[in-house]
């Protein structure tokens, strides 16, 4: 599905390095005399001092790249799980933002929304660079389900270590998610805590204020809802920078308002005209990238 199709429907290579160094070259002046030695005396000329040289070394630059792959996820009961990673050009290891899709989506959602071009624009505007990885999370709302599948565990125990083997700095990560993925970002970011979670951007998060109000398939009954309800986990987010964006025509608008009101630390973000669709999400994305980048750099 191309980006135009994605926005219209409202749905929810390669590593290289270049090094450059300049070396100053110089010639030593040879000693010179009078050209004739008399029987009396000769006066030699003092050799000229060699010029001082400076060698400048430039840090190796890893060029921008977008790569993809898949692995068989033990946390998801052996399901083949795809990922796509975009890295802007950088001279240092980048920290990653983990992008969580909405229900029915997949790892390409953040790319369909135009993240490569918008991240380049944000960096040009002064945002520190960072990597973005989109992953397949299924439709299990990023927590352990009765089937044993746990896409939240997949993120923490499989994706983050995988990113570390690719040279990314996973000491701290960011979360970005839409709808189901917005809920998952709040849940997983809070579970990792402020030492590991640099920032969370939850966009049109799929939130319900009671177990009876949830969508079919979001939870395995009331006990599952109560165990994974982010309304009961706001304290875990107190020391994590959070941004919440939601359209005023979004079906989750009221629940998002209530969630924001219960946070100890007021979040960034806004409630603005828009619905639960790709047009709204694309319009908010550059601000969310700037928010995440500024906090990942801390």
More confident residue, 13 or 179: 179
DSSP 242-287: EEEEEETTSTTHHHHHHHHHH-SSPPEEEEES--SSHHHHHHHHHH
pLDDT above 90 (res 150): yes
pLDDT for 251-287, tens place per residue?
999 999 999 999 999 999 999 999 999 999 999 999 9
For domain 72-296, the CATH class is: alpha beta
| Largest CA-CA distance found in the chain, in angstroms, rounded | 116
Beta strands in 42-93 (DSSP E): 56-57, 65-73, 79-87
Q: ∠ CA(14), CA(71), CA(170), 5° rounding?
A: 65
Given a cut of 80, whether residue 125 has pLDDT beyond it is yes
SS3 118: helix
Stretch 15-23: mean pLDDT: 33
Q: What pLDDT was estimated at residue 58? A: 60
Phi and psi based region of residue 79 (left: phi greater than 0; alpha: psi -120 to 50; beta: remaining)? beta
What is the rounded distance in angstroms from the CA atom of residue 290 to the CA atom of residue 99?
A: 15
pLDDT band at 217 (very low <50, low <70, confident <90, very high): very high
Query: Does the structure show a pLDDT above 80 at 30?
Result: no
Residue 159 predicted with pLDDT over 50: yes
Task: Quote the Cα angle for 95-110-97, to 5°.
Answer: 15
142 to 48, 215, 218, 283: CA distances (angstroms) = 73, 15, 10, 25
Q: Is 83 a residue whose pLDDT tops 80?
A: yes
Q: What local confidence, expressed as pLDDT, does residue 23 receive?
A: 32
Contact of 154 with 137, CB cutoff 8 Å: yes
Mean pLDDT of 206-223: 97
Question: What's the whole-number mean pLDDT along residues 199-208?
Answer: 98
69 pLDDT exceeds 90? Answer: yes
**Amino acid 62: pLDDT:** 83
| pLDDT band, very low/low/confident/very high, at 60 (cuts 50, 70, 90) | confident
Cα 100 to Cα 83, 151, 210, 267, distances in angstroms: 11, 10, 23, 19
For the chain, percent helix, then strand, then coil, each to nearest 5? 30, 20, 45
The SS3 assignment for 291 reads helix
| Domain range list for the chain | 72-296
Rounded CA-CA distance 298/287 in Å is 18
pLDDT at position 19: 32
Q: For residue 192, what are its two tokens?
A: 């990792």
What pairs with residue 66 in β-bridges?
Answer: 86
Which percentage of the chain shows pLDDT scores above 90?
79
242 Cβ contact list (under 8 Å, min separation 6): 186, 189, 199, 200, 201, 202, 263, 265, 267, 268, 269
pLDDT band at 12 (very low <50, low <70, confident <90, very high): very low
DSSP 79: E
pLDDT class for 250, splitting at 50, 70, 90? Answer: very high
Tokens describing residue 53: 């040289």
pLDDT at 10 over 90: no
Residues 6+ apart with CB under 8 A from 36: none
For residue 174, the model assigns a pLDDT of 98
Over residues 291-295, mean pLDDT: 98
pLDDT at site 17: 32
Q: What is residue 61's predicted lDDT score, i.e. its pLDDT?
A: 83
Of 35 and 185, the one with more pLDDT: 185
Q: Which of 44-48, 100-104, 111-115, 142-146 has the lowest mean pLDDT?
A: 44-48
pTM of the model: 0.82
DSSP 122-151: HHHTTPPP-EEEEE--TTSTTSB-TTS-BH
């Amino acid at each position: 599905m191309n980006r135009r199709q994605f926005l219209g429907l409202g749905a929810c290579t390669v590593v290289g390095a270049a090094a450059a160094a300049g070396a100053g070259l110089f010639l030593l002046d040879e000693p010179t005399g009078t050209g004739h030695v008399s029987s009396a005396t000769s006066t030699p000329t003092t050799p000229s001092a060699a010029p001082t040289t400076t060698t400048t070394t430039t840090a190796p630059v890893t060029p921008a790249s977008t790569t993809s792959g898949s692995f068989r996820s033990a946390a998801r009961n052996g399901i083949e799980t795809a990922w796509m990673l975009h890295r802007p050009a950088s001279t240092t290891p980048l920290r990653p933002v983990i992008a969580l899709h909405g229900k029915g989506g997949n790892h390409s959602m953040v790319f369909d929304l135009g993240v490569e071009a918008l991240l380049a624009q944000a960096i040009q505007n002064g945002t520190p660079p960072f990597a973005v990885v989109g992953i397949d999370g299924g439709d299990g709302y990023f927590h352990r389900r009765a089937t044993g599948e746990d896409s939240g565990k997949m993120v923490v125990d499989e994706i983050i270590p995988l990113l570390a083997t690719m040279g990314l700095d996973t000491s701290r990560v960011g979360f970005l998610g839409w709808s189901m993925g917005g809920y998952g970002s709040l849940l997983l970011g809070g579970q990792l805590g402020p030492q590991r979670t640099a920032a969370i951007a939850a966009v049109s998060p799929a939130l319900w204020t009671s177990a009876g109000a949830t969508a079919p398939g979001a939870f395995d009954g009331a006990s599952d809802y109560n165990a994974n309800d982010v309304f009961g986990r706001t304290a875990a987010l107190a020391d994590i920078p959070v941004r919440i964006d939601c359209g005023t025509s979004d079906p989750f608008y009221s629940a998002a308002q209530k969630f924001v009101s219960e946070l100890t630390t007021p979040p960034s973000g806004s409630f603005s005209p828009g619905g639960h669709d790709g047009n709204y999400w694309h319009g908010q994305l550059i601000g969310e990238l700037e928010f995440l980048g500024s906090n990942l750099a801390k």
